Amino acid sequence: MGSRIESGIRSGLLSLAFAASLLPGPARALNMVVGDVTVTDLTSYGFTRFTSALTFDGGATDQVYEMFGYLGTSAGTVRIDASNFAEVSAISRAGNTAQSTLSLSAPAAAALGLSAGDILVDYAFALLDDTTPVDEDGFSWDVTLRNTTGADIAVTLYTYLDLDLGGATDWNDDLATIDLQRAVVTDADDPSALFVWNLGVVGGADHFELGSYPGVQNTLDTMGPAANLSDAVTSFGPGDFTAAYQFDQLVPAGGATTIVSSTNAVPEPNSAVLTGIGLIGLTLYGRRRKLPLS
């Protein structure tokens, strides 16, 4: 009798251990440093947590606090996060590049009028070290949407950015003005800290929106069926600069479409070219390409 009980206990413990092995583990996060660019707590879903950041110049003049995406169809819009996408491969690093793959989960698929796994999202994050005297260190973020079905899927990708000029603790005194096809953002305490954000088609986007937090994020969080951003170009400040690009894409059956972004520090504050100025330029564009499905 006792041996049967002990055997049953051992069997139960083994079953529990096996079940526990199937549970999703905690999201992996990476820290990366290349040149004067530092990524803190980068996850598979982008800069989505309060402790995550992308800084240039040690964060003395600038910080990208959040950078993540939303995916929309004619049926709805969802945020690319852990509640809507499962990790096929968690964030991992090879050299200066970190990458992950996400799969559309069932609840989010239902909201988009799709099925689980119809869309795969490949994130690739690369830190770029410029070793020339200008020291234009930078960062690139590629988002590839892969269609695993036998039919084309029309989607809209929204890329969101929250910028903190002046560092992590100096986030609500940004001044944004419109200069030709750019939004020029400065820090009220330090006008030499600059950020240049290209408007609309200059960056290859179909639409865009910018404004002081939390307006743009509220628009995206409450969006139903994919809709156009406002293309608003009103100057504002002081406030917390946020902005989003919209990319309307037709992802071909069994194929993929890639949105590429790049951010550069141009140049360092101690540069001999433009002493005292920290300038970041952000450009995005979309391209279509065929990829084999894994």
Nearest to 163 by CA among 241, 233, 228, 224: 241
CATH of the domain at 276: 2.70.98
By residue range, what is the domain housing residue 239? 30-289
Partners of 93 in the β-ladder: 98
Q: Is 282 part of a structural domain of the chain?
A: yes
Q: Is 206 part of a structural domain of the chain?
A: yes
Number of domains in the chain: 1
Average pLDDT value for residue range 38-66: 84
Q: Which residues of 185-199 are buried (b: 16+ CB within 10 A; e: fewer)?
A: bbbbebeebbbebbb
Q: Which residues of 128-143 are buried (b: 16+ CB within 10 A; e: fewer)?
A: bebeeeebbbbbbbbb
**Under a CB-based contact definition with an 8 Å cutoff, are residues 209 and 230 in contact?**
yes
Q: Is 19 part of a structural domain of the chain?
A: no
Query: Pairing relation of β-strands 37-42 and 278-289?
Result: unpaired
Selection from 15-24, 51-60, 191-200, 245-254 with the highest mean pLDDT: 245-254
Q: pLDDT: is 9 or 49 the higher one?
A: 49
Q: Report pTM.
A: 0.82
Q: Is 10 part of a structural domain of the chain?
A: no
- Residue-wise pLDDT for 107-145, tens only, equals 999 999 999 999 999 999 988 887 887 777 778 888 999
Q: Is 261 part of a structural domain of the chain?
A: yes
- Residue-wise pLDDT for 51-60, tens only, equals 888 887 777 7
Partners of 243 in the β-ladder: 161, 210
Q: Where are the beta strands (DSSP E) in 152-192?
A: 153-163, 174-179, 182-187
- Residue-wise pLDDT for 140-162, tens only, equals 888 999 999 999 999 999 999 89
Q: Is 160 part of a structural domain of the chain?
A: yes
Query: What would the DSSP string read from start to end of 84-109?
Result: TEEEEEEEEEETTEEEEEEEE-HHHH
